[in-house]
Amino acid sequence: MKKIAYLLLTISFCGLTACKTGTKKGGNMDNETLVKIETTLGDIKVKLYNETPKHRDNFIKLAEEGVYEGTLFHRVIKDFMIQAGDPDSKNAPKGKMLGAGDVGYTLPAEFVYPKYFHKKGALSAARQGDNVNPKKESSGCQFYIVTGKVYNDSTLLGMESQMNENKINVIFNTLAQKHMKEIYKMRKENDENGLYELQEKLFAQAQEEAAKQPEFHFTPEQVEAYTTVGGTPHLDGEYTVFGEVVEGMDIVDKIQQAYGVFDGIVINPAAYTHTSVAILDALKAVALPAVEVHLSDVDAREAFRHVSYAGMACFARFTGLGFEGYRQAILFLKDYLHTHTV
């Protein structure tokens, strides 16, 4: 029989509810701070590193202020990571583009590399790209948890070679950032000779600096992690790693797996029941058996609430049972799928 999975939806669902956090000092973890992230699929516990104090303290502050309360895992990429912390994701309507929300400030990078790296379960700060953020400053609120994938030894050796080959380009781009005003001026004046001369000068400097640096090699700890539990080695030294999952990595995996693979829907359209044709269209588009739930008896309320657009795409309905309605709807859907799935 086909494996059956369920996804419980509420109208605020645009992803998975990410963060309701509480903090405590973990006496059995070298006094590092433990944070519990409550999700709709279960709890994830992370520890925050003392060696990244700005990120640690900022994460705690935002959690205590309720900034993460009700936000979503708005970006989930298979074999890569799950990302959350966008304040704009709170109560975001279905289909809203997310990921640009912030709290009005950034944090300076705190690289503790190679001690802390992007192994599976690493808690890291999201950020804008190098083209607009050459100092690799972190988002003031958005973060991600690494899922990644497992690599073999030969692949890691190939990555080492590529990183050493790219070293000159990285140094060149860093040097070029320091001359951006000059470069923009020459481009505006169509000074091709000036641009060429500057390019040659900076490239020579990059070669000279690269020759002084030791070749890049993964540490034994990195090789062990990346060839067993996995991770995202190409992010090392580029994004601040400020913690790691200590409990609930299975929940992280479930969050990733929940996107794109489920067999039925239980939905409470709430106030959008009688107003949103978009929800009706979305339910029709996914073409999955759906059950509608309402905590109260909507048929006993105002006449305008008797119309349900979402209900037009649902094959069953439970109303007036409170939260018990969710349980009965899930059991009903389970029985339906078992009898209609081979």
pLDDT digit string, tens, across residues 185-238: 888 898 989 989 998 999 999 989 988 988 899 999 999 999 999 999 989 999
* The total number of structural domains that make up the chain: 3
Q: Is residue 20 part of a domain?
A: yes
With a cut of 70, list the residues of the chain below it in pLDDT. Answer: 1-30, 94-95, 258-262, 275-278, 281-282, 284-287, 304, 338-342
Give the separation between CA 126 and CA 237, rounded to whole angstroms: 13
Crossing angle (nearest 10°) for helices 153-177 and 192-212: 130
> 115 and 48, same structural domain?
yes
DSSP 111: -
> Which domain does 331 fall in, by range?
264-340
Q: Is residue 162 part of a domain?
A: yes
> 168 and 302, same structural domain?
no
Q: How far is CA 199 from CA 143, 175, 194, 202, in A?
A: 36, 10, 9, 5
User: If phi over 0 gives left and psi between -120 and 50 gives alpha, with beta otherwise, what is residue 127?
Assistant: beta
> 310 and 161, same structural domain?
no
> 308 and 293, same structural domain?
yes
> 194 and 91, same structural domain?
no
Q: Is residue 179 part of a domain?
A: yes
Q: Is residue 312 part of a domain?
A: yes
Q: Report pLDDT for 59.
A: 93
Give φ, ψ of 6 to 5 degrees: -125, 145
> 197 and 131, same structural domain?
no
> 242 and 202, same structural domain?
no
> 278 and 213, same structural domain?
no
Residue with tokens 């279905």: 94
> 247 and 211, same structural domain?
no
Kindly report, residue by residue over 231-281, the tens digit of the pLDDT. 999 899 999 999 999 999 998 888 777 665 567 788 888 877 776 666 776
Q: What is the CATH number of the domain that holds 68?
A: 2.40.100.10
Strand, helix or coil for residue 19: strand
> 97 and 137, same structural domain?
yes
Q: Is residue 167 part of a domain?
A: yes
Q: What is the CATH number of the domain that holds 295?
A: 3.40.50.9100
> 102 and 118, same structural domain?
yes
Q: Is residue 4 part of a domain?
A: no
> 179 and 268, same structural domain?
no
Q: Is residue 193 part of a domain?
A: yes
Q: Which two tokens stand for residue 168?
A: 């000159």
